[in-house]
Amino acid sequence: MLQDFKEFAMRGNVVDMAVGIVIGAAFGTIVKSFVSDVLMPPVGLLLGNVDFSNLFAVIKAGTTAAPYATLEAAKEAGAVTLNYGAFLNTVISFVIIAFAVFMVIKAINSLQRKEDEKDEEAPAEPPKQEQLLSEIRDILKAR
C-alpha cells in the first residue's frame, strides 16, 4: 500500500497540481494585498475618504454604546458587527483572481487551437511501408 501511494504521489499530474496549489495560494496573497493596499485606498478616496476595510454595521452593541469610530473599536467593545467592507474586498480579490485564471485558460486554449490547426494543415506522411505497398500496387496495375 505504501508503494502504491508513493507511485500515486510521484506521478507528474499530482506534482504539477501541488505546485499549482502553492503558486495559486501565493498569487491569492498577492492579489489580496493588491486589493486592500493598492486598489481600494484610491477608490475609497474617490468615494469620499471611505476605508472599505472599516465598513461595518453594528448588529448588537458591546459594553460601550455605539457609534464606534472604527471596526477595531467596535471589536474592543465586544460589539457584534457585520463586516461588509472586508467582504467587499474579498469579492474584488475573487473577481481579479477569476479574471486572471480566465486569461490564462484563454491563452492556453488559443495556443492549443494553433497547435491543432498546424496538425490539420500538414497531413501526415504515410508510413514507409504504406508508400512501398502503394508503389508495388501501382506497378502491378501498370502491367
pLDDT tens per residue across span 78-102: 888 888 888 888 888 888 888 888 8
Give the confidence band of 120 by pLDDT, cuts at 50, 70, 90: low
Long-range residue pairs from 93-100, CB within 8 A, at least 24 positions apart, any chain: 93/28, 93/31, 93/32, 93/35, 96/31, 96/34, 96/35, 97/27, 97/28, 97/31, 100/27, 100/31
Domain boundaries, the chain: 2-50+83-142
% the chain with pLDDT above 90: 1
Give the pLDDT confidence score for residue 12 in this predicted structure: 65
51-79 pLDDT, tens digit each = 777 888 888 888 887 788 888 888 888 88
Please say whether the structural domain 2-50+83-142 has been given the CATH code 1.10.10: no
Three-state SS at 82 = strand
48: left (phi over 0), alpha (psi -120 to 50) or beta: left
86: left (phi over 0), alpha (psi -120 to 50) or beta: alpha
Give the pLDDT mean for 113-123: 71
Give the pLDDT confidence score for residue 113 in this predicted structure: 83
With a cut of 80, say whether residue 124 has pLDDT above it.
Answer: no
Give the pLDDT mean for 88-117: 83
Give the confidence band of 122 by pLDDT, cuts at 50, 70, 90: low
Residue 57, beta-bridge partner list: 82
Three-state SS at 60 = strand
For residues 81 and 117, what is the distance between their CA atoms, to the nearest angstrom?
57
Which cell numbers in the block locate residue 132? 512501398
C-beta separation of 2 from 10 below 8 A? no
For residues 28 and 132, what is the distance between their CA atoms, to the nearest angstrom?
59
